[in-house]
Amino acid sequence: MKKRCLGTSDLYVSEIGLGCMSLGKEEPKARSILDEAIDLGINFLDTADLYDYGLNEEFVGKAIKHRRQNIILATKVGNRWEKEKEGWYWDPSKKYIKEAVKNSLKRLQTDYIDLYQLHGGTIDDPIEETIEAFEELKKEGVIRYYGISSIRPNVIKEYLNKSNIVSIMMQYSLLDRRPEEWFDLIEQHNVSVIARGPLAKGLLTERPLELANNQIKNDGYLSYTYAELKNVRQQLEKAFPNFTKTEIALKYVLSQSVVGAAIPGASNIDQLRENVQAAQAKAFTHDEIHKLKTITKANVYTNHRDA
């Protein structure tokens, strides 16, 4: 598995990471997926304290405990919850971040986190205070680097200008090309993009479109109607007959120089293997990338203030 460096860090992550959110709540199944991912050459695991209210971190922690030094471990903070209470609320305060990291370390059974990410954010947050928390955790050796997980342009610009983030996690796929509007700016700051959702909820895989859920059938996906999704998939098949849809989706995302890794989820081992195999496909040429862009929409964020 090829590796890429995240931003200005010394974190060399596999081009295909594993988004752990879809592992589920059954530990044996989750463990089998994690073990297979690592055996296939994936060294980048992304979880979050919010996923199944800490259970996801516990599964990841158990899976990597005996091989921690071989793993680039990423988790997230900012969504606060309390036991025996439903729901969560947003808390990017310094006090909470420094409290939450201790709980994540315990669940992950480690004494450091390679990449600690703010799990969201708004322009009204105490951004300087949040940055201070991450910087202090770096000095303490509790985290190696930090980043944000956000699609809000104004938030992204604040962190690019004021912090030492090495990465920005963004929903990005061939069907959601909104982040491309900001790639030049992000790259100018020597920050990497971590692409989540690169398979667009399975719409860019071999799974028949007819099996999509009713919401997609009725409302489409982002700015695409169901009929448009069907047309795009047909055009992709016609233009790239020697590629699977998964290969097309992942190789397109990885063709962007600012992208440090794509982190599709996997709810079973077959999906995981398809994702890893797709990464081995040959890179697209400049002309092929142009063709892909003509087939899909160059959708942009419609409201820069609130996006």
Q: Active-site residue numbers?
A: 51
Which of these, 165, 201, 204, lies nearest to 296 by C-alpha position? 204
Residue 159 and residue 128 in contact, taking contact as beta carbons nearer than 8 Å: no
- Structural tokens at position 208: 């028949």
- E strand or H helix at 32, and its extent? helix 27-39
Query: How far, CA to CA in Å, does 98 sit from each of 47, 80, 83, 135, 256?
Result: 18, 12, 18, 11, 34
Chain centroid to CA 27: how far?
Answer: 22
Side chain identity, residue 93: S
User: DSSP labels for 159-206?
Assistant: HHHHS---EEEEE-BTTB-GGGGGHHHHHHTT-EEEEE-TTGGGTTSS
Cα angle for residues 257, 259, 260 (degrees, 5° grid): 110
Residue 192 and residue 167 in contact, taking contact as beta carbons nearer than 8 Å: yes
3-state SS, one letter per residue, for 203-237 = CCCCCCHHHCCHHHHHHCECCECHHHHHHHHHHHH
- Number of Cβ atoms within 10 Å of the Cβ of 158: 20
User: How far apart, in whole angstroms, are the C-alpha atoms of residue 177 and residue 198?
Assistant: 10
